[in-house]
Protein backbone atom coordinates (compact mmCIF):
# COMPACT_ATOMS: atom_id res chain seq x y z
CA UNK A 1 0.00 0.00 0.00
CA UNK A 2 2.71 2.45 0.89
CA UNK A 3 6.37 3.30 1.14
CA UNK A 4 8.35 4.87 3.95
CA UNK A 5 11.08 7.24 2.79
CA UNK A 6 13.84 8.94 4.68
CA UNK A 7 13.40 12.65 3.98
CA UNK A 8 14.48 16.07 5.17
CA UNK A 9 12.53 18.94 6.64
CA UNK A 10 13.86 21.78 4.50
CA UNK A 11 12.83 24.46 7.01
CA UNK A 12 14.15 22.90 10.23
CA UNK A 13 17.03 20.96 8.56
CA UNK A 14 16.30 17.65 10.25
CA UNK A 15 15.74 14.12 8.96
CA UNK A 16 12.17 12.87 8.94
CA UNK A 17 10.25 9.77 7.89
CA UNK A 18 7.80 10.28 5.02
CA UNK A 19 5.09 7.63 4.77
CA UNK A 20 3.33 7.84 1.43
CA UNK A 21 0.74 5.97 -0.57
CA UNK A 22 2.18 4.40 -3.70
CA UNK A 23 0.45 6.03 -6.68
CA UNK A 24 0.00 2.63 -8.32
CA UNK A 25 -1.92 1.43 -5.26
CA UNK A 26 -4.73 3.87 -5.97
CA UNK A 27 -6.56 1.94 -8.68
CA UNK A 28 -10.01 3.48 -8.34
CA UNK A 29 -11.71 6.57 -6.92
CA UNK A 30 -13.31 4.43 -4.23
CA UNK A 31 -9.93 3.00 -3.15
CA UNK A 32 -8.36 6.46 -3.26
CA UNK A 33 -11.05 7.76 -0.94
CA UNK A 34 -10.50 4.84 1.46
CA UNK A 35 -6.75 5.41 1.53
CA UNK A 36 -7.32 9.10 2.18
CA UNK A 37 -9.57 8.21 5.14
CA UNK A 38 -6.98 5.78 6.47
CA UNK A 39 -4.21 8.34 6.25
CA UNK A 40 -6.30 11.09 7.79
CA UNK A 41 -7.13 8.74 10.65
CA UNK A 42 -3.51 7.73 11.15
CA UNK A 43 -2.42 11.36 11.28
CA UNK A 44 -5.07 12.31 13.81
CA UNK A 45 -4.87 9.20 15.97
CA UNK A 46 -1.10 9.03 16.15
CA UNK A 47 -0.94 12.74 16.97
CA UNK A 48 -3.31 12.15 19.89
CA UNK A 49 -1.16 9.46 21.53
CA UNK A 50 1.19 11.62 23.57
CA UNK A 51 3.98 9.24 24.55
CA UNK A 52 7.71 9.05 23.67
CA UNK A 53 7.16 5.48 22.52
CA UNK A 54 5.01 6.68 19.60
CA UNK A 55 6.77 8.54 16.76
CA UNK A 56 5.49 12.09 16.47
CA UNK A 57 3.47 13.21 13.47
CA UNK A 58 4.80 16.52 12.13
CA UNK A 59 2.51 17.03 9.15
CA UNK A 60 -0.09 15.33 6.94
CA UNK A 61 -0.55 16.08 3.25
CA UNK A 62 -3.94 14.95 2.01
CA UNK A 63 -4.40 16.14 -1.56
CA UNK A 64 -8.04 16.20 -2.70
CA UNK A 65 -6.95 14.62 -5.96
CA UNK A 66 -5.49 11.72 -3.90
CA UNK A 67 -2.29 11.97 -5.93
CA UNK A 68 -0.28 13.23 -2.95
CA UNK A 69 -1.02 11.35 0.28
CA UNK A 70 1.76 11.26 2.83
CA UNK A 71 2.60 11.73 6.49
CA UNK A 72 5.71 13.47 7.76
CA UNK A 73 6.82 11.78 10.95
CA UNK A 74 9.66 11.49 13.43
CA UNK A 75 12.48 9.38 12.04
CA UNK A 76 13.45 6.69 14.53
CA UNK A 77 17.05 5.47 14.33
CA UNK A 78 16.82 1.87 15.46
CA UNK A 79 16.14 -1.73 14.49
CA UNK A 80 12.92 -3.75 14.68
CA UNK A 81 12.61 -6.66 17.08
CA UNK A 82 12.88 -9.02 14.10
CA UNK A 83 16.60 -8.15 14.00
CA UNK A 84 17.11 -9.63 17.48
CA UNK A 85 14.92 -12.75 17.44
CA UNK A 86 17.05 -15.86 16.83
CA UNK A 87 15.97 -19.47 17.43
CA UNK A 88 19.50 -20.48 18.42
CA UNK A 89 19.92 -17.70 20.99
CA UNK A 90 16.84 -16.62 22.96
CA UNK A 91 17.01 -13.13 24.38
CA UNK A 92 17.77 -12.56 28.06
CA UNK A 93 14.60 -12.56 30.18
CA UNK A 94 15.29 -9.02 31.43
CA UNK A 95 15.75 -7.74 27.85
CA UNK A 96 12.51 -9.31 26.60
CA UNK A 97 10.52 -8.19 29.63
CA UNK A 98 11.85 -4.61 29.36
CA UNK A 99 10.66 -4.46 25.74
CA UNK A 100 7.23 -5.85 26.66
CA UNK A 101 6.89 -3.43 29.57
CA UNK A 102 7.68 -0.46 27.35
CA UNK A 103 5.15 -1.66 24.75
CA UNK A 104 2.58 -2.06 27.52
CA UNK A 105 3.17 1.54 28.57
CA UNK A 106 2.60 2.77 25.01
CA UNK A 107 -0.57 0.70 24.71
CA UNK A 108 -1.90 2.14 27.97
CA UNK A 109 -1.76 5.62 26.43
CA UNK A 110 -3.28 4.40 23.15
CA UNK A 111 -6.10 2.50 24.85
CA UNK A 112 -6.94 5.65 26.80
CA UNK A 113 -7.66 7.59 23.55
CA UNK A 114 -9.21 4.96 22.93
CA UNK A 115 -7.29 3.28 20.11
CA UNK A 116 -6.60 -0.39 19.48
CA UNK A 117 -3.43 -0.99 17.50
CA UNK A 118 -4.71 -4.20 15.84
CA UNK A 119 -1.39 -5.10 14.18
CA UNK A 120 1.18 -5.37 16.95
CA UNK A 121 4.14 -7.50 15.78
CA UNK A 122 7.96 -7.54 16.03
CA UNK A 123 8.44 -5.61 12.76
CA UNK A 124 6.24 -2.79 14.13
CA UNK A 125 8.32 -2.45 17.31
CA UNK A 126 11.67 -0.68 17.07
CA UNK A 127 14.41 -0.47 19.68
CA UNK A 128 16.07 2.94 19.34
CA UNK A 129 19.75 3.56 20.01
CA UNK A 130 19.11 4.60 23.62
CA UNK A 131 17.05 1.48 24.36
CA UNK A 132 13.70 3.26 24.04
CA UNK A 133 11.05 1.11 22.42
CA UNK A 134 8.93 2.72 19.69
CA UNK A 135 5.60 1.26 18.54
CA UNK A 136 4.92 2.04 14.89
CA UNK A 137 1.93 2.09 12.57
CA UNK A 138 -1.25 2.98 14.35
CA UNK A 139 -2.58 3.66 10.85
CA UNK A 140 -4.90 0.66 10.76
CA UNK A 141 -6.20 1.30 14.25
CA UNK A 142 -9.91 1.99 14.69
CA UNK A 143 -11.30 4.45 17.21
CA UNK A 144 -13.55 2.48 19.54
CA UNK A 145 -16.85 3.92 18.38
CA UNK A 146 -19.78 2.08 16.89
CA UNK A 147 -20.28 4.53 14.04
CA UNK A 148 -16.81 4.17 12.55
CA UNK A 149 -16.76 2.62 9.09
CA UNK A 150 -14.37 -0.29 8.65
CA UNK A 151 -11.26 0.79 6.79
CA UNK A 152 -10.59 -2.39 4.86
CA UNK A 153 -10.65 -2.74 1.11
CA UNK A 154 -12.22 -6.20 0.99
CA UNK A 155 -13.92 -6.67 4.34
CA UNK A 156 -11.08 -8.98 5.42
CA UNK A 157 -9.72 -8.62 8.96
CA UNK A 158 -6.88 -6.15 9.53
CA UNK A 159 -3.77 -7.59 11.13
CA UNK A 160 -0.89 -10.00 10.58
CA UNK A 161 -1.88 -13.66 10.74
CA UNK A 162 1.05 -14.77 12.88
CA UNK A 163 0.00 -12.40 15.69
CA UNK A 164 -3.77 -12.19 15.11
CA UNK A 165 -6.13 -12.76 18.03
CA UNK A 166 -8.94 -15.33 17.57
CA UNK A 167 -11.60 -12.61 17.49
CA UNK A 168 -9.72 -10.87 14.66
CA UNK A 169 -9.51 -14.12 12.71
CA UNK A 170 -13.28 -14.50 13.04
CA UNK A 171 -13.84 -10.91 11.93
CA UNK A 172 -15.50 -10.07 15.25
CA UNK A 173 -15.14 -6.80 17.13
CA UNK A 174 -11.74 -5.91 18.54
CA UNK A 175 -11.03 -4.42 21.96
CA UNK A 176 -7.89 -3.44 23.87
CA UNK A 177 -7.61 -7.10 24.89
CA UNK A 178 -6.97 -7.89 21.22
CA UNK A 179 -3.67 -6.02 21.58
CA UNK A 180 -2.93 -8.02 24.75
CA UNK A 181 -3.11 -11.26 22.75
CA UNK A 182 -0.65 -9.87 20.19
CA UNK A 183 1.63 -8.72 23.02
CA UNK A 184 1.55 -12.28 24.36
CA UNK A 185 2.59 -13.57 20.92
CA UNK A 186 5.47 -11.08 20.77
CA UNK A 187 6.70 -11.82 24.30
CA UNK A 188 6.54 -15.57 23.64
CA UNK A 189 8.66 -15.10 20.51
CA UNK A 190 11.22 -12.89 22.29
CA UNK A 191 11.68 -15.44 25.07
CA UNK A 192 11.95 -18.62 23.02
CA UNK A 193 13.21 -17.31 19.68
CA UNK A 194 10.38 -18.68 17.57
CA UNK A 195 6.79 -17.67 16.77
CA UNK A 196 3.89 -18.96 18.85
CA UNK A 197 2.50 -20.94 15.89
CA UNK A 198 4.24 -21.95 12.68
CA UNK A 199 1.59 -22.95 10.17
CA UNK A 200 2.77 -23.15 6.57
CA UNK A 201 -0.15 -21.13 5.24
CA UNK A 202 -2.24 -18.20 6.40
CA UNK A 203 -5.20 -20.54 6.77
CA UNK A 204 -3.23 -22.90 9.04
CA UNK A 205 -2.03 -19.99 11.17
CA UNK A 206 -5.52 -18.58 11.53
CA UNK A 207 -6.86 -22.02 12.51
CA UNK A 208 -4.10 -22.47 15.10
CA UNK A 209 -4.87 -19.12 16.72
CA UNK A 210 -8.52 -20.11 17.04
CA UNK A 211 -8.15 -23.72 18.20
CA UNK A 212 -4.57 -24.72 19.11
CA UNK A 213 -3.19 -24.53 22.64
CA UNK A 214 0.09 -22.58 23.03
CA UNK A 215 3.16 -24.52 24.12
CA UNK A 216 4.09 -23.36 27.66
CA UNK A 217 7.31 -21.37 27.61
CA UNK A 218 9.11 -23.49 30.21
CA UNK A 219 8.80 -26.54 27.94
CA UNK A 220 10.80 -24.61 25.36
CA UNK A 221 13.07 -22.70 27.73
CA UNK A 222 13.30 -24.01 31.32
CA UNK A 223 14.93 -20.87 32.78
CA UNK A 224 11.82 -18.73 32.15
CA UNK A 225 10.27 -17.89 35.57
CA UNK A 226 7.01 -19.71 36.24
CA UNK A 227 5.12 -16.46 36.90
CA UNK A 228 6.22 -15.09 33.53
CA UNK A 229 5.09 -18.25 31.74
CA UNK A 230 1.74 -17.93 33.53
CA UNK A 231 1.36 -14.31 32.35
CA UNK A 232 2.09 -15.21 28.71
CA UNK A 233 -0.44 -18.06 28.80
CA UNK A 234 -2.98 -15.68 30.36
CA UNK A 235 -2.41 -13.19 27.52
CA UNK A 236 -2.94 -15.97 24.96
CA UNK A 237 -6.31 -17.19 26.14
CA UNK A 238 -8.80 -17.60 23.29
CA UNK A 239 -11.67 -15.68 24.88
CA UNK A 240 -10.91 -11.94 25.21
CA UNK A 241 -12.71 -11.60 28.56
CA UNK A 242 -10.49 -14.33 30.02
CA UNK A 243 -7.29 -12.36 29.38
CA UNK A 244 -5.88 -9.80 31.84
CA UNK A 245 -8.28 -6.95 32.58
CA UNK A 246 -6.11 -4.32 30.92
CA UNK A 247 -2.57 -3.47 29.95
CA UNK A 248 -1.95 -1.87 33.35
CA UNK A 249 -2.38 -5.30 34.94
CA UNK A 250 0.10 -6.73 32.46
CA UNK A 251 2.66 -4.07 33.38
CA UNK A 252 2.27 -4.76 37.11
CA UNK A 253 2.87 -8.47 36.50
CA UNK A 254 6.00 -7.67 34.47
CA UNK A 255 7.43 -5.37 37.15
CA UNK A 256 9.00 -8.12 39.31
CA UNK A 257 11.21 -9.09 36.37
CA UNK A 258 12.38 -5.52 35.67
CA UNK A 259 15.49 -3.96 37.25
CA UNK A 260 14.86 -1.45 40.01
CA UNK A 261 15.96 2.18 39.69
CA UNK A 262 19.66 2.43 40.49
CA UNK A 263 20.24 -1.31 40.11
CA UNK A 264 23.46 -2.29 38.38
CA UNK A 265 23.70 -5.22 36.01
CA UNK A 266 24.80 -8.30 37.99
CA UNK A 267 27.68 -10.47 36.85
CA UNK A 268 25.32 -13.44 36.44
CA UNK A 269 22.85 -11.51 34.26
CA UNK A 270 22.98 -12.59 30.66
CA UNK A 271 23.92 -9.74 28.29
CA UNK A 272 21.69 -8.77 25.39
CA UNK A 273 22.54 -9.27 21.72
CA UNK A 274 25.99 -7.98 20.77
CA UNK A 275 25.87 -4.33 19.78
CA UNK A 276 22.16 -4.03 20.59
CA UNK A 277 20.69 -1.17 22.66
CA UNK A 278 19.68 -2.02 26.22
CA UNK A 279 15.92 -1.61 26.79
CA UNK A 280 16.40 -2.25 30.54
CA UNK A 281 18.36 1.01 30.88
CA UNK A 282 15.32 3.26 31.24
CA UNK A 283 14.23 1.21 34.25
CA UNK A 284 17.68 1.17 35.87
CA UNK A 285 18.22 4.91 35.38
CA UNK A 286 14.90 6.63 34.69
CA UNK A 287 15.23 10.15 33.30
CA UNK A 288 19.01 9.75 33.29
CA UNK A 289 21.06 12.18 31.20
CA UNK A 290 22.19 11.06 27.80
CA UNK A 291 25.28 8.85 27.96
CA UNK A 292 28.53 10.69 27.42
CA UNK A 293 29.43 10.54 23.75
CA UNK A 294 32.83 9.05 23.14
CA UNK A 295 34.71 10.12 20.07
CA UNK A 296 33.19 7.48 17.85
CA UNK A 297 34.88 6.67 14.59
CA UNK A 298 32.83 7.89 11.70
CA UNK A 299 32.48 5.93 8.51
CA UNK A 300 35.07 8.11 6.80
CA UNK A 301 37.45 7.79 9.74
CA UNK A 302 37.12 4.04 9.34
CA UNK A 303 37.91 4.43 5.66
CA UNK A 304 40.98 6.49 6.61
CA UNK A 305 42.06 3.66 8.92
CA UNK A 306 41.66 1.12 6.10
CA UNK A 307 43.90 3.25 3.90
CA UNK A 308 46.60 3.38 6.56
CA UNK A 309 46.47 -0.39 7.02
CA UNK A 310 47.02 -0.99 3.33
CA UNK A 311 43.55 -1.92 2.06
CA UNK A 312 43.78 -1.12 -1.66
CA UNK A 313 40.98 0.61 -3.57
CA UNK A 314 38.80 -1.40 -5.91
CA UNK A 315 39.99 -1.13 -9.52
CA UNK A 316 37.07 0.05 -11.65
CA UNK A 317 36.80 -0.06 -15.44
CA UNK A 318 37.17 3.35 -17.07
CA UNK A 319 33.45 3.58 -17.86
CA UNK A 320 32.55 3.06 -14.19
CA UNK A 321 35.21 5.56 -13.10
CA UNK A 322 33.69 8.13 -15.45
CA UNK A 323 30.24 7.39 -14.03
CA UNK A 324 31.63 7.81 -10.50
CA UNK A 325 33.21 11.15 -11.40
CA UNK A 326 29.87 12.33 -12.80
CA UNK A 327 28.09 11.23 -9.62
CA UNK A 328 30.62 13.15 -7.53
CA UNK A 329 30.00 16.31 -9.61
CA UNK A 330 26.24 15.93 -9.14
CA UNK A 331 26.60 15.42 -5.38
CA UNK A 332 28.88 18.44 -5.13
CA UNK A 333 26.27 20.57 -6.90
CA UNK A 334 23.53 19.26 -4.61
CA UNK A 335 25.75 19.88 -1.57
CA UNK A 336 26.48 23.46 -2.68
CA UNK A 337 22.77 24.18 -3.16
CA UNK A 338 21.95 22.83 0.31
CA UNK A 339 24.75 24.86 1.88
CA UNK A 340 23.44 28.01 0.18
CA UNK A 341 20.07 27.31 1.81
CA UNK A 342 21.81 26.71 5.18
CA UNK A 343 20.53 23.13 5.27
CA UNK A 344 23.79 21.95 6.79
CA UNK A 345 22.63 18.67 8.35
CA UNK A 346 21.17 17.46 5.08
CA UNK A 347 24.29 18.59 3.20
CA UNK A 348 26.42 16.47 5.55
CA UNK A 349 24.29 13.42 4.91
CA UNK A 350 24.25 13.90 1.14
CA UNK A 351 28.03 14.08 1.17
CA UNK A 352 28.33 11.06 3.48
CA UNK A 353 26.45 8.90 0.97
CA UNK A 354 29.07 9.75 -1.69
CA UNK A 355 32.18 9.33 0.48
CA UNK A 356 31.94 5.58 1.01
CA UNK A 357 31.68 4.49 -2.65
CA UNK A 358 34.28 7.07 -3.65
CA UNK A 359 36.71 5.85 -0.99
CA UNK A 360 36.22 2.23 -2.03
CA UNK A 361 36.91 3.02 -5.66
CA UNK A 362 39.62 5.69 -5.35
CA UNK A 363 41.12 5.14 -1.91
CA UNK A 364 40.37 7.01 1.32
CA UNK A 365 43.37 9.34 0.85
CA UNK A 366 42.72 10.15 -2.77
CA UNK A 367 42.57 13.95 -3.15
CA UNK A 368 38.94 14.17 -4.32
CA UNK A 369 37.87 11.85 -1.49
CA UNK A 370 39.70 13.94 1.09
CA UNK A 371 37.94 16.99 -0.32
CA UNK A 372 34.54 15.27 0.03
CA UNK A 373 35.38 14.34 3.60
CA UNK A 374 36.42 17.90 4.38
CA UNK A 375 33.15 19.28 3.01
CA UNK A 376 31.17 16.78 5.05
CA UNK A 377 33.03 17.76 8.24
CA UNK A 378 32.50 21.48 7.56
CA UNK A 379 28.75 21.00 7.11
CA UNK A 380 28.59 18.90 10.30
CA UNK A 381 30.38 21.70 12.13
CA UNK A 382 28.03 24.36 10.77
CA UNK A 383 25.05 22.17 11.72
CA UNK A 384 26.32 22.21 15.30
CA UNK A 385 27.31 18.52 15.29
CA UNK A 386 30.78 19.20 16.67
CA UNK A 387 31.04 15.74 18.23
CA UNK A 388 30.84 14.12 14.78
CA UNK A 389 33.03 16.73 13.05
CA UNK A 390 35.89 16.54 15.58
CA UNK A 391 37.19 13.01 14.83
CA UNK A 392 36.82 13.61 11.11
CA UNK A 393 38.87 16.80 11.18
CA UNK A 394 41.55 15.01 13.20
CA UNK A 395 41.59 12.06 10.79
CA UNK A 396 41.82 14.46 7.85
CA UNK A 397 44.70 16.35 9.49
CA UNK A 398 46.61 13.06 9.78
CA UNK A 399 45.84 12.18 6.16
CA UNK A 400 47.00 15.57 4.83
CA UNK A 401 50.09 15.44 7.07
CA UNK A 402 51.07 12.07 5.58
CA UNK A 403 50.58 13.41 2.08
CA UNK A 404 52.00 16.94 2.35
CA UNK A 405 53.55 17.34 5.79
CA UNK A 406 52.15 18.55 9.11
CA UNK A 407 52.71 22.20 8.15
CA UNK A 408 50.67 22.05 4.93
CA UNK A 409 47.77 24.45 4.60
CA UNK A 410 45.13 21.68 4.53
CA UNK A 411 46.60 19.92 7.59
CA UNK A 412 46.71 23.23 9.49
CA UNK A 413 43.12 24.04 8.55
CA UNK A 414 41.89 20.63 9.77
CA UNK A 415 43.80 20.93 13.05
CA UNK A 416 42.36 24.41 13.59
CA UNK A 417 38.81 23.23 12.89
CA UNK A 418 39.29 20.28 15.24
CA UNK A 419 40.41 22.72 17.95
CA UNK A 420 37.36 24.90 17.31
CA UNK A 421 35.15 21.83 17.70
CA UNK A 422 36.79 21.11 21.03
CA UNK A 423 36.08 24.66 22.10
CA UNK A 424 32.40 24.25 21.24
CA UNK A 425 32.33 20.99 23.22
CA UNK A 426 33.72 22.75 26.31
CA UNK A 427 37.23 21.31 26.01
CA UNK A 428 38.73 24.79 26.17
CA UNK A 429 42.21 23.90 27.42
CA UNK A 430 42.74 21.41 24.58
CA UNK A 431 41.21 23.85 22.10
CA UNK A 432 43.59 26.64 23.12
CA UNK A 433 46.59 24.34 22.90
CA UNK A 434 45.56 23.22 19.42
CA UNK A 435 44.91 26.74 18.12
CA UNK A 436 48.22 28.00 19.49
CA UNK A 437 50.11 25.16 17.79
CA UNK A 438 48.50 26.00 14.47
CA UNK A 439 49.12 29.73 14.97
CA UNK A 440 52.83 29.09 15.56
CA UNK A 441 52.99 27.09 12.32
CA UNK A 442 51.16 29.84 10.40
CA UNK A 443 53.40 32.58 11.79
CA UNK A 444 56.48 30.66 10.62
CA UNK A 445 55.15 30.61 7.05
CA UNK A 446 52.85 33.62 6.54
CA UNK A 447 53.50 35.99 9.41
CA UNK A 448 51.09 37.50 11.95
CA UNK A 449 48.56 39.30 9.78
CA UNK A 450 47.58 36.73 7.17
CA UNK A 451 43.86 35.92 7.02
CA UNK A 452 44.51 32.55 8.66
CA UNK A 453 46.61 34.06 11.48
CA UNK A 454 44.07 36.81 12.18
CA UNK A 455 41.23 34.28 12.56
CA UNK A 456 43.33 32.15 14.89
CA UNK A 457 44.33 35.10 17.06
CA UNK A 458 40.70 36.21 17.31
CA UNK A 459 39.52 32.69 18.26
CA UNK A 460 42.28 32.33 20.88
CA UNK A 461 41.32 35.64 22.45
CA UNK A 462 37.63 34.70 22.58
CA UNK A 463 38.37 31.30 24.15
CA UNK A 464 40.53 32.96 26.81
CA UNK A 465 37.69 35.38 27.50
CA UNK A 466 35.21 32.50 27.80
CA UNK A 467 37.47 30.94 30.44
CA UNK A 468 37.44 34.17 32.46
CA UNK A 469 41.11 34.85 31.65
CA UNK A 470 40.31 38.43 30.70
CA UNK A 471 43.80 39.89 31.13
CA UNK A 472 45.29 37.24 28.83
CA UNK A 473 42.44 37.75 26.34
CA UNK A 474 43.15 41.49 26.35
CA UNK A 475 46.83 40.87 25.71
CA UNK A 476 45.91 38.82 22.63
CA UNK A 477 43.13 41.02 21.25
CA UNK A 478 44.69 44.49 21.75
CA UNK A 479 47.63 43.93 19.34
CA UNK A 480 45.24 42.11 17.01
CA UNK A 481 43.03 45.22 16.90
CA UNK A 482 46.05 47.41 16.09
CA UNK A 483 47.03 45.09 13.23
CA UNK A 484 43.48 45.00 11.89
CA UNK A 485 43.26 48.79 11.86
CA UNK A 486 46.32 48.87 9.59
CA UNK A 487 45.46 45.90 7.34
CA UNK A 488 41.65 46.12 7.08
CA UNK A 489 40.87 49.56 8.43
CA UNK A 490 38.98 50.66 11.57
CA UNK A 491 35.56 50.41 9.82
CA UNK A 492 35.96 46.74 8.87
CA UNK A 493 33.43 44.37 10.47
CA UNK A 494 36.09 42.20 12.11
CA UNK A 495 38.01 45.25 13.38
CA UNK A 496 34.83 46.63 14.95
CA UNK A 497 34.00 43.25 16.49
CA UNK A 498 37.39 43.07 18.21
CA UNK A 499 37.09 46.71 19.32
CA UNK A 500 33.72 45.99 20.95
CA UNK A 501 35.15 42.97 22.76
CA UNK A 502 38.05 45.05 24.06
CA UNK A 503 35.59 47.65 25.33
CA UNK A 504 33.67 44.96 27.24
CA UNK A 505 36.91 43.59 28.71
CA UNK A 506 37.87 47.08 29.94
CA UNK A 507 34.53 47.41 31.68
CA UNK A 508 34.94 44.03 33.37
CA UNK A 509 38.49 44.67 34.48
CA UNK A 510 37.74 48.19 35.68
CA UNK A 511 35.20 46.61 38.01
CA UNK A 512 37.85 45.47 40.45
CA UNK A 513 40.75 43.58 38.90
CA UNK A 514 44.20 44.95 39.63
CA UNK A 515 46.47 46.00 36.82
CA UNK A 516 43.61 46.73 34.42
CA UNK A 517 44.73 47.55 30.88
CA UNK A 518 44.47 51.10 29.69
Q: Cα–Cα distance between 20 and 56 in angstroms, integer? A: 16
CA angle 140, 146, 152 (to 5 degrees): 30
Residues paired with 128 in a beta bridge: 78
| Residue 77 region by backbone torsions, left for phi larger than 0, else alpha for psi between -120 and 50, else beta | beta
Is residue 516 within 8 A of residue 509, CB to CB? The reply is: yes
Helix (H) or strand (E) holding 79: strand 78-80
The answer to whether 3 is a known catalytic residue is no
Q: Cα–Cα distance between 113 and 287 in angstroms, integer? A: 25
Q: Cα–Cα distance between 210 and 138 in angstroms, integer? A: 24
Q: Which of 13, 63, 88, 119 is catalytic?
A: 119
- Nearest CA to 116 out of 256, 293, 286, 247 is that of 247
Q: Cα–Cα distance between 126 and 276 in angstroms, integer? A: 12
Is residue 353 within 8 A of residue 373, CB to CB? The reply is: no
Q: Cα dist. 122→23, 100, 184 in Å? A: 27, 11, 12
Buried b (16+ CB within 10 A) or exposed e, 168-200: bbeeeebbbbbbbbbbbbbbbbbbbbebbbebe
Please report how many Cα atoms fall inside a 13 Å half-sphere around the Cα of residue 421, on the Cβ side.
25
CA angle 12, 338, 305 (to 5 degrees): 100
Three-class DSSP category at 180: helix
Is residue 349 within 8 A of residue 17, CB to CB? The reply is: no
Question: CB neighbours of 351 closer than 8 A, spacing ≥ 6?
Answer: 331, 335, 372, 375, 376, 379
With the C-alpha atoms ordered 420, 424, 425, 426, is the resulting torsion angle positive or negative?
A: positive
- Nearest CA to 141 out of 20, 47, 45 is that of 45
Q: Cα–Cα distance between 73 and 15 in angstroms, integer? A: 9
List phi, psi (to 5°) of 408.
Answer: -65, 155
User: 367-382 and 299-308 helices cross at what angle (nearest 10)?
Assistant: 150
Question: Known catalytic residues?
Answer: 119
Amino acid sequence: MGDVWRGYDAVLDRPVAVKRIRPQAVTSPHLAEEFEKRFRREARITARIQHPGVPQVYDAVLDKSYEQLFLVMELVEGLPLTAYVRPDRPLPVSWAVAVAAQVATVLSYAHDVPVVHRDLKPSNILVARDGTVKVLDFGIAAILRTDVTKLTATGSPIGTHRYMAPEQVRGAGVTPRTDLYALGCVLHELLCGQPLFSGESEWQLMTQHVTAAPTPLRELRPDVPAALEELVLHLLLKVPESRPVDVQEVYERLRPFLPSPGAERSASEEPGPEGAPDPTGIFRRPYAPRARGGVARTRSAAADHSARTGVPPVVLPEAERAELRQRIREVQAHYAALMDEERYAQAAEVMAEMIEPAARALGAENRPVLRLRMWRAVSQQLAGDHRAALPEFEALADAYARADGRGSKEARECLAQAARCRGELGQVTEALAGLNRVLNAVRAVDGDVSEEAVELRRDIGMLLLAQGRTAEAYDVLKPLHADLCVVLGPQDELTEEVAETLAVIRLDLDGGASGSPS
